[in-house]
Amino acid sequence: MVTETAPIATHSDAIIRIGGLLADSGIPAPDAIGHRVVHGGPTLLQHCVIDDSVLRRLETAAAFAPLHTPAALAVIHYAQEHFPGLPQVACFDTAFHADMPDVARTLPIARELVASGLQRYGFHGLSCESIVHQLGDDLPARTVIAHLGNGASVTAVRSGKSIDTSMGLTPTGGVMMGTRSGDLDPGVLLYLLREKHFDAVMLEDLVDHRSGLRGISGTSSDMRLLHAAAPADAAARLAIQMFCYGVRKQVAAMVAALDGVDLIVFTGGIGEHDAQVRAGICSGLSSVGVSLDEGRNRTANDPISSFASSCAVRVLASQEDEQIARHTGTLLASAGPSATTRLVPQR
């Protein structure tokens, strides 16, 4: 394992540095590169080997995730230039949710728009897959996964399959996040269009960059900074309370979708490291049998649920890179006799 922490200006510089690290360390050149791609649109719903057709469809799908897909495409192109001829694989965050039932996937809009690909796709799928993989035979029938970070989502998993999730057509939907609004009354956007003369660029900037924790606090999207400011800052306190309250409501909704819950898993940067947020979320879930052990929660000593809790609560690390490597190896092994053993995930 070779690691390095350093400021890197561009995606191209990052790829070049990775190549340099591999060469300098004496590690053999990779056999393949796996890429995390947030959104493949309506035509790319499963992990796949990247070819020209896939690239064209990714470019078309960029409108679904303008914060993520253009950057992912840039990394793919730079990787192709720096590692010419090396197989590359796209691993989609939407893939885990691709088989959600129609009742969860379908948006309540005109049928012709649904037919054009406007639906609930769901995201953080690689993170959810990694939780399912880590649990293995210990995965219960009804699990709720709360991936909480700068982006946040809550997913209902029945017997290892996603049946509903909080994010929708894009990664902007669902619970309030670091700078993203999450779900809004559509009338808010219509009001801003009509009365405040917002255009699409202004709306996108608002819901993706000036909302969520940053919008409410007026200062920061970093939960650590908000905790530090909260004792003297009412806006920071409100931002934290709204985040916990919103996630709690989504967890309860997923419990209803599952008709009960056996396990809640916290993952992601906030989910794994913020005991105060975990406690704030779980404090309102006693009606579904959730009870935390204060000491275990404070130290993230898994499991963090108390003996009295009828629902287990755990903290597990998101292992998206490992999932990318697994999918890349599986896809390339199935594509030909040259098995892939050295894989470089790109995120």
Structural domain total, the chain: 2
Residue 19 lies in a domain: yes
Q: Are 166 and 155 in contact (CB under 8 A)?
A: yes
The three-point CA angle 162-168-171 to 5° equals 105
Q: Are 126 and 320 in contact (CB under 8 A)?
A: yes
Stretch 194-223: mean pLDDT: 98
pLDDT band for 230, please (50, 70, 90 cuts).
Answer: very high
Q: Do both 249 and 139 map to the same domain?
A: yes
Q: Do both 265 and 324 map to the same domain?
A: no
Q: Do both 296 and 155 map to the same domain?
A: yes
Q: Do both 216 and 339 map to the same domain?
A: no
Selection from 120, 156, 131 nearest residue 141 by Cα: 156
Q: Do both 61 and 163 map to the same domain?
A: no
Residue 76 lies in a domain: yes
- Residue whose pair of structure tokens reads 């639906």 in the numeric block: 119
In tens, the pLDDT along 100-121 reads: 999 999 999 999 999 999 999 9
**What residues contact residue 81 under an 8 Å CB cut-off, 6+ apart?**
15
Catalytic residue among 24, 93, 99, 183: 93
Question: CA distances (Å), 299 to each of 30, 135, 146, 148, 302, in order?
Answer: 38, 20, 18, 18, 9
Range of the domain at 286: 125-315
Average pLDDT of the chain is: 93
* Helices then strands, each counted (H, E), the chain: 15, 9
Q: Do both 308 and 328 map to the same domain?
A: no
Residue 93 annotated to the active site: yes
Q: Do both 337 and 310 map to the same domain?
A: no
> Tell me, what CATH number does 212's domain have?
3.30.420.40
Q: What is the pTM of this model?
A: 0.93
Residue 294 lies in a domain: yes
Selection from 150, 128, 126 nearest residue 40 by Cα: 126
What confidence score (pLDDT) does residue 74 get? 92
Q: Do both 84 and 130 map to the same domain?
A: no
What confidence score (pLDDT) does residue 341 get? 40
In tens, the pLDDT along 283-341 reads: 999 999 999 999 999 999 999 999 999 999 999 999 999 999 999 999 998 876 443 34
Q: Do both 326 and 278 map to the same domain?
A: no
Q: Do both 155 and 41 map to the same domain?
A: no
